[in-house]
């Protein structure tokens, strides 16, 4: 008999082609009359288009969203929102812009809508990660969950192939950790498996033919499922590692996920056999860790943290930060094993699966079972 708790979430999802034309209708349904459009500097054109679609309901655009949601950028955005009298925000873009929308919503209470253009998945989660100085903190806050998410496949057709690949692997990481999450449930397991199937099927096509509408729809569908998993169950070591590396060294978010994921999967392999079997099956690979490593390399994703700008001297600091907070993971998180994982990821080596001496998920559920890292990482 399965014993579980399923936590649903209330976000309206509109998925299809050309769906951005429905944004005025969706904003009106939420009572939003003065919408501030958000974007990163590289998506000013898309923000302007959405501003035009909103017509008189748009009161301005703020186009300075930055990776890892720096607090100083958020403060500038909040000040601008007050200056123009905004009553809501609409984030157009990926995780950086959607993170900014969440940070504004937290500080002002304004409702938010999201129009994702990448596969980051942040739009389906109540997770907010913010950076101040060189420290990134993440929190799970129901009030930052977007009210409505509009997925328009057409907006992803111009998403560059290389960026699409790493963004898609970032989405795969959400699904992977949902398979062995402490609070996993049957629905999350099904969604995670379906997400992996969709992404492993579509990303190779997107890498070769970025304008393939069917592959783009399949990838965005997989990213939605993976993001929903991220929003409903906790994550573990992989997300903790990536947030530490991103916040401490300013590494690109999706690229860091692509490098780290096979190594964390190797670390957790013996403690999560059911999850590993599902991952390997989706990849048609003999084992999950090698399958993920080879999949990413075939698609041209970066393979080493050193290539992303992380100094070798940072391995010690990162290992210390990763193990400092107690959080759940299917295999105990120890400094020596984390240091080895980071060393391999920094150098770009193939992942090494440790001996099968880790506890099974049912046994490890009592290890470091505080929520801090698993829920927030």
Q: Comparing 112-116, 172-176, 362-366, which segment has the lowest mean pLDDT?
A: 362-366
272-316 pLDDT per residue, tens: 999 999 999 999 999 999 999 999 999 999 999 999 999 999 999
Q: Which two tokens stand for residue 237?
A: 């070591």
Write b or e for each residue in 283-297: b if 16 or more Cβ atoms lie within 10 A of its Cβ, otherwise e. bebebbbbbbbebbe
pLDDT at 128: 95
Q: Count Cβ atoms within 10 A of the Cβ of residue 218 and give its class: 0-12 exposed, 13-18 middle, 19 or more buried.
A: buried
Comparing CA positions, the residue from 247, 252, 275, 253 lying closest to residue 362 is 275
Which residue is associated with the tokens 């001297």?
A: 313
Inform me whether the pLDDT recorded for 97 exceeds 90.
yes
Helix locations, the chain, DSSP H: 23-29, 44-54, 71-84, 95-108, 161-179, 186-208, 213-232, 237-249, 253-268, 273-283, 288-298, 314-324, 335-347, 361-364, 371-376
13 backbone dihedrals φ, ψ, rounded to 5°: -120, 125
- Eight-class DSSP state of 64: -
pLDDT at 325: 78
Vertex 122: Cα angle to 48 and 214 (nearest 5): 75
Inform me whether the pLDDT recorded for 219 exceeds 90.
yes
The H-or-E segment that residue 92 falls in is strand 88-93
Inform me whether the pLDDT recorded for 240 exceeds 70.
yes
- Separation CA 24–CA 59 (nearest Å): 13
Q: Comparing 7-16, 121-130, 142-151, 190-199, which segment has the lowest mean pLDDT?
A: 7-16
Q: Which two tokens stand for residue 366?
A: 């009592």
Whole-number mean pLDDT of the chain? 92
Residue 325 neighbours by CB distance under 10 Å: 15
137 backbone dihedrals φ, ψ, rounded to 5°: -120, 145
Inform me whether the pLDDT recorded for 1 exceeds 80.
no
Instruction: Tell me, rounded to whole angstroms, the distance of Cα 15 from its chain centroid.
Output: 19
Average pLDDT estimate for 199-212 = 98
pLDDT at 3: 76
pLDDT at 373: 35
pLDDT at 41: 97
Residue 96 neighbours by CB distance under 10 Å: 26
Inform me whether the pLDDT recorded for 372 exceeds 50.
no
98-156 pLDDT per residue, tens: 999 999 999 999 999 999 999 999 999 999 999 998 788 889 899 999 999 999 999 99
Inform me whether the pLDDT recorded for 339 exceeds 80.
yes
């Amino acid at each position: 008999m399965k014993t579980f708790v399923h936590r649903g979430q209330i976000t309206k999802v509109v998925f299809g082609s050309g769906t951005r034309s429905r944004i005025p209708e969706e904003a009106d349904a939420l009572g939003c009359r003065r919408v501030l459009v958000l974007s990163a500097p590289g998506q000013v054109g898309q923000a302007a288009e959405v501003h035009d679609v909103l017509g008189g309901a748009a009161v301005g655009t703020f186009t300075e969203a930055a990776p890892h949601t720096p607090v100083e950028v958020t403060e500038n955005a909040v000040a601008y929102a007050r200056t123009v009298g905004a009553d809501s925000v609409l984030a157009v873009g990926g995780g950086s812009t959607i993170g900014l929308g969440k940070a504004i919503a937290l500080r002002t209470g304004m409702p938010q809508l999201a129009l994702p253009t990448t596969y980051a998945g942040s739009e389906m989660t109540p997770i907010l990660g913010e950076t101040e100085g060189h420290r990134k903190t993440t929190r799970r806050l129901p009030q930052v969950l977007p009210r409505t998410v509009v997925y328009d496949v057409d907006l992803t057709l111009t998403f560059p192939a290389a960026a699409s690949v790493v963004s898609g692997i970032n989405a795969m990481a959400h699904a992977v950790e949902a398979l062995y999450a402490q609070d996993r449930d049957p629905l999350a397991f099904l969604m995670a498996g379906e997400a992996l199937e969709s992404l492993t099927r579509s990303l190779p096509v997107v890498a070769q033919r970025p304008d393939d509408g069917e592959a783009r729809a399949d990838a965005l569908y997989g990213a939605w499922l993976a993001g929903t998993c991220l929003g409903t169950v906790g994550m573990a070591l992989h997300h903790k590692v990536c947030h530490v590396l991103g916040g401490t060294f300013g590494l690109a978010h999706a690229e860091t996920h692509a490098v780290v994921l096979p190594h964390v999967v190797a670390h957790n392999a013996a403690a999560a056999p059911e999850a590993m079997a599902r991952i390997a099956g989706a990849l048609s690979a003999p084992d999950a860790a090698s399958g993920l490593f080879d999949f990413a390399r075939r698609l041209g994703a970066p393979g080493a943290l050193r290539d992303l700008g992380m100094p070798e001297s940072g391995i010690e600091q990162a290992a210390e930060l990763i193990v400092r907070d107690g959080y759940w993971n299917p295999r105990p998180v120890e400094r020596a094993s984390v240091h080895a994982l980071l060393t391999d990821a920094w150098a770009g080596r193939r992942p090494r699966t440790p001996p099968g001496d880790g506890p099974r998920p049912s046994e490890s559920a009592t290890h470091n079972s505080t929520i801090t890292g698993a829920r927030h990482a």
